[in-house]
Each structure stands twice: as structure tokens, then as C-alpha cells.
Amino acid sequence: MAALVEPVLLEIARTCTFKKKKPDEGTGARRIGCERCGKARLHRDHLGTPPSLNALVSSNVHALRAQKDAWQRALLSELRASDLGPTDRVMAEGECCFGTQQRRDGGNHRVLLEKALGDALTEGGYLVDDDWNRYEFGRLTQTYKKGEAWTRVMLFPG
């Protein structure tokens, strides 16, 4: 009989809302980083919920790649801190908490999260490949809590 494998919870929570730095007063040169914490826009502390695909597609392919990579790094960090070991298959479900009540198209947020998690699972050696036979992302729900932004993903290895 195979050993029972427990579900694993991953959580990415925004701890700082990114605020663009004002240009240098003397030279007018652009200043990089967050006015509040000094960290880069895509630092894990600024991630809470995946951005909408609509916003990324309307900018450029480099912005899409940068966001996917930032989420992949954050998820890989969570995976490494978890008890998950190599497995044959993973089913994932998630919840995104948004700090505002605006209407959203779930698929636009889901695509980046699903892709980044699959790539993190393979990069970390948890899955041999993130093909459909080994990795599926099921339900993604949304919730509202004023001012909060976080994403929780429950992994069901098997």
C-alpha cells in the first residue's frame, strides 16, 4: 500500500503595495524601486494576486515573462519551504484575495498562476514534467478583504 501523501498549502501574500519612486529632483532621472520599501516592482513582497492577462498582453511580452518568472520564483520558494517531495502527479486548487471589489474575469488571473506553478513544480524537481497527465489546476476562487492581496494554492499530490 502506498504511503498517504498530505495536501500542501502554498501562500503568497503582499506585504507592501508598490509605489513608484518619483524622479530625482536634481537630474530628473528615473529612480528604480518602491518608494515605501525600496524593493523592485516584481519582488515577492509586492505580489499578492496574479495580474490580469489583459493588462499584461496590452503592455508587452517582456512584462508577461517578468510576471510569470516572479510568480514562479515565489512559488518555488514556498515549495522548498513545504514538506512536498517528488511525486508522480499534482492536482492544485487555489483562492485569490483581492483588496477591492471590482469585477474580474477569473481566467485572466488563473493563466499566469497555473503556468508559474507548473514550471515551479518541474524546476524544483517535484514533477518530472508539468504535462496534463501529471499536473492539473482545478478550481480557482476569489474572495474580498479590504486592502488585502494574497493567493493560496492547495496541492494534492498523488
Structure letter (DSSP) for residue 2: P
Model confidence at 3, pLDDT cuts 50, 70, 90, reads: low
At residue 1, the pLDDT reads 41
- The percentage of residues in the chain with a pLDDT greater than 70, rounded to a whole number, is 96
At residue 133, the pLDDT reads 97
At residue 64, the pLDDT reads 86
The pTM assigned to this predicted structure is 0.86
How far apart, in whole angstroms, are the C-alpha atoms of residue 88 and residue 134?
6
At residue 72, the pLDDT reads 98
Mean pLDDT, range 44-51, rounded to an integer: 94
**Residue 124 CA: distances (Å) to CA of 12, 41, 89, 91, 111:** 17, 24, 14, 16, 20
Instruction: Give the Cβ contact number of residue 128 at 10 Å.
Output: 12
How far apart, in whole angstroms, are the C-alpha atoms of residue 103 and residue 26?
42
H-state helical runs in 23-135:
53-59, 61-81, 106-123
pLDDT digits (tens, 9 = 90+) for 129-143: 999 999 999 999 999
pLDDT digits (tens, 9 = 90+) for 102-115: 999 999 899 999 99
At residue 55, the pLDDT reads 73
Mean pLDDT, range 62-87, rounded to an integer: 95
CB within 8 Å of 100: residues ≥ 6 apart: 144, 146
Structure letter (DSSP) for residue 41: T
